[in-house]
C-alpha cells in the first residue's frame, strides 16, 4: 500500500457478527485472517488502528456446541463470558502472525456516561496506541444488564472513535453499504454512495437487523455515523467481504457508503454531551424558543418551555423537542425536573421568587448544549 495515498492517521474498524461469521453460526477464522492482514498492512503503513469487534455471543455458542438455552440476559451473559475469551484469543493469535500485540478493552455505558470514567477510558486507549498495541474493544456483555448497556457495537464504535480522536470510522457489515431500502426485503434497493447529512428521511430507510445474527441493523449504524460525523470523524459503511475493503476505504476508493464529517466539528466537551450521558428527561419548547435555541444560539430559558417529561436531577442530560416530539437537541440541565415543572413558561427573572433560589437564568446554557 502506498502510504502517500492514505489520508488518515487513526482509524476505528468495527466488525459486525455478520462479517465475523460470514452468515454462518460460527466464527469464520479464514476470513478473520484476511481482515487481520488488511489491518496489519494499515499499521505497517503508519496508520493507528482500533478494532471494535462483535462476535462474543456467536463464539460462545460455537464453543459450547450450541447449547439449548432460554433467551434471557443471564444466558447471553454466560455465552459472552465464554465467547469473549475465545474471540480475543483468536484476534491475539491472528495479529501475532504480523508481530502485533493486542490489548482488550471491555466497556459498558458507565465508562462512557460518567465524564471522569470517559476521560480515563480515553487515556488508556491512547496509552495502548502510543505503545503500538492494537486496542480491541467490545461491550462488557458478561456484566452488562439492559440498564447499563450501550446495546450495540455500532454506537460503541462511534464512541470509541470520539474517545481516541480518530479521523475515520469503518463499519463493516454483510451489505455493500446503506441502501435506499433493506436489500433483504427489496431486491431493487439501490446503494447510497455519499451522504452529506443525516435527517429523518434517511433514518426512515434504515431498518433493524433481520438475520438474527446482528444487533440493531442499519438503524444503529446511522446513529453511529451521526455521532461520529458531528465530532469530525468520516464514516464508511461497507461490506466486510469486499476484496481489500479496508485498504480501498483508507485510499478513498469508491466503496460502500461514505459520510463526510462536519466541517466545524463539536468541541470536546460537547462531543461527550452528544455521545456520553444517558438522556434522563425532556422539555417541550414552543416554536419561538426552538428557533431561538437552534438558529440564534440562545440559552434555553424557562419561558419557552411548555411541558416537562421524566424525572431528572440538576446536571442530568435532557433533550428538548417541539410539540410534535421532534428532538432538536440535548444538554445538561441546570435545574432538576421538579424545579423546572414549577417555572414552566415563567420569565427567568421570577425563578428565585418561585423556587426560593436560582442557579442562573438558563435551564440549559448554550455551552452545555448540542443542537441536532
Ligand X SMILES: N[C@@H](CCC(=O)OP(=O)(O)O)C(=O)O
The binding site for substrate consists of 54, 141, 153
Closest to ligand ADP by CB, 193 vs 350, is 193
Residue 13 is a binding residue for ligand ADP (CB under 6 A): no
Q: Smallest distance, Å, CB 272 to ligand ADP? A: 25
Asked if 211 touches ligand ADP (CB under 6 A), the answer is yes
Chain residues in the site for ligand X (CB under 6 A): 16-18, 54-57, 138-139, 141, 152-153, 214-216
* Segments in the chain forming alpha helices (H): 17-20, 29-44, 56-63, 73-96, 109-113, 115-130, 153-163, 200-205, 217-230, 245-250, 268-275, 287-295, 337-343, 351-355
Residue 35 sits at the vertex; the CA angle it makes with 247 and 16, to the nearest 5 degrees, is: 105
Nearest distance from residue 182's CB to ligand ADP, in Å?
4
Residue 371, SS3?
A: strand
26: Cα within 13 Å, side-chain hemisphere: 9
Residue 210 touching ligand ADP (CB under 6 A): yes
Q: Which does 207 bind (CB under 5 to 8 A by kind): ligand ADP, ligand X, none?
A: ligand ADP
| Distances, alpha carbon 78 to alpha carbons 30, 102, 110, 350, in Å | 26, 24, 21, 55
- In whole angstroms, give the CA distance from residue 67 to residue 70: 10
Nearer residue to ligand ADP within complex by CB, 181 or 371: 181
**Using the rule CB under 6 A, is 59 a contact of ligand ADP?**
no
Site track 141-180 with ligand ADP (rule: CB under 6 A), x = hit: --------------------------------xxx--xx-
Q: Which does 48 bind (CB under 5 to 8 A by kind): ligand X, ligand ADP, none?
A: none
Question: Of the ranges 39-47, 112-120, 214-222, 273-281, which one interacts with ligand ADP (CB under 6 A)?
Answer: 214-222
Annotated binding-site residue numbers: 14, 54, 141, 153, 173-174, 215-221
Residue 333 site contact among ligand ADP, ligand X, none (CB < 5 to 8 Å, cut-off depends on kind): none
CA distance 166 to 150: 20
Compute and round to an integer the Cα radius of gyration of the chain. Answer: 22
Amino acid at each position: 500500500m502506498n502510504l502517500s495515498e492514505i489520508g488518515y492517521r487513526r482509524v476505528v474498524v468495527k466488525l459486525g457478527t455478520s462479517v465475523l461469521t460470514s452468515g454462518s453460526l460460527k466464527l469464520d477464522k479464514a476470513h478473520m485472517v484476511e481482515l487481520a492482514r488488511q489491518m496489519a498492512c494499515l499499521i505497517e503503513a503508519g496508520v493507528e488502528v482500533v478494532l471494535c469487534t462483535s462476535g462474543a455471543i456467536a463464539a460462545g455458542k460455537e464453543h459450547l456446541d450450541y447449547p439449548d438455552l432460554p433467551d434471557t440476559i443471564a444466558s447471553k451473559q454466560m455465552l459472552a463470558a465464554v465467547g469473549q475469551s475465545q474471540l480475543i484469543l483468536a484476534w491475539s493469535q491472528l495479529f501475532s502472525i504480523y508481530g502485533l500485540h493486542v490489548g482488550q478493552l471491555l466497556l459498558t455505558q458507565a465508562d462512557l456516561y460518567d465524564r471522569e470514567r470517559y476521560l480515563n477510558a480515553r487515556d488508556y486507549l491512547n496509552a495502548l496506541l502510543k505503545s503500538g498495541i492494537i486496542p480491541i474493544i467490545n461491550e462488557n456483555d458478561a456484566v452488562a444488564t439492559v440498564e447499563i448497556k450501550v446495546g450495540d457495537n455500532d454506537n460503541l464504535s462511534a464512541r470509541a472513535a470520539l474517545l481516541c480522536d480518530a479521523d475515520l470510522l469503518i463499519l463493516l457489515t454483510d451489505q455493500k453499504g446503506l441502501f435506499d431500502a433493506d436489500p433483504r426485503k427489496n431486491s431493487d434497493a439501490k446503494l447510497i454512495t455519499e451522504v452529506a447529512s443525516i435527517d429523518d428521511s434517511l433514518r426512515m430507510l434504515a431498518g433493524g437487523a433481520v438475520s438474527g445474527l446482528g444487533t440493531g441493523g442499519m438503524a444503529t449504524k446511522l446513529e453511529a455515523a451521526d455521532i461520529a460525523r458531528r465530532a469530525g470523524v468520516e464514516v464508511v459503511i461497507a461490506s466486510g467481504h469486499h476484496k481489500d475493503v479496508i485498504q480501498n476505504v483508507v485510499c478513498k476508493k469508491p466503496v460502500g457508503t461514505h459520510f463526510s464529517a462536519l466541517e466545524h466539528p463539536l468541541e470536546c466537551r460537547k462531543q461527550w454531551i452528544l455521545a456520553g450521558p444517558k438522556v434522563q428527561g425532556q422539555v417541550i419548547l414552543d416554536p419561538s424558543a426552538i428557533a431561538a435555541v437552534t438558529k440564534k444560539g440562545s440559552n434555553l430559558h424557562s419561558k419557552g418551555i411548555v411541558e416537562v417529561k421524566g424525572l431528572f436531577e440538576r446536571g442530568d442530560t435532557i433533550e428538548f423537542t417541539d410539540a410534535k416530539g421532534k428532538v432538536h437537541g440535548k444538554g445538561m440541565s441546570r435545574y432538576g425536573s421538579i424545579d423546572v415543572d414549577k417555572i414552566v413558561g415563567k420569565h427567568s427573572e421570577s425563578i428565585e421568587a418561585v423556587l426560593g433560589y436560582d442557579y442562573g437564568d438558563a435551564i440549559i446554557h448554550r455551552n452545555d448544549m448540542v443542537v441536532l
